[in-house]
Amino acid sequence: MWKVTGSSKFTRLLIYTVKGISDIVVKGSMKAQDLGDINEVVLDSLFKTITNANFDEEAIKRQIRKNIEIRDALAKKLLPTYTMQPHYSNNRC
């Protein structure tokens, strides 16, 4: 197993935040056409994971923060009983 460092750990975290958004969308029974700008944010996040050739950690961190904000807003709106897990913390990056 190799050690995960630098931008690769942030890329993994970015993917993880997309999974968090997806989890809430599925649990909230939302339809893709009702997500508006969230679709674009998710696609942009995934695109960053495959095209971030210069490994811009700050750009990845900004995207992670944006995804966390979206995830938290969706959770509050759709799943009032949704419990945030410690590993979803905003102070990770």
Domain parsing of the chain, residue ranges: 31-92
Instruction: Give the separation between CA 65 and CA 77, rounded to whole angstroms.
Output: 18
What is the value of pTM for the model shown? 0.72
Its sign, for the CA torsion 82, 87, 91, 93, is negative
Q: What amino acid is encoded at 92 in this protein?
A: R
- Distance from chain centroid for Cα 64: 5
Residue 18 pLDDT exceeds 90: yes
pLDDT digit string (tens) for 43-89?
999 888 886 555 678 888 999 999 999 999 988 888 776 665 544 44
Task: Indicate the length of the chain as a whole number.
Answer: 93
Beta carbons of 85 and 19 less than 8 angstroms apart: no
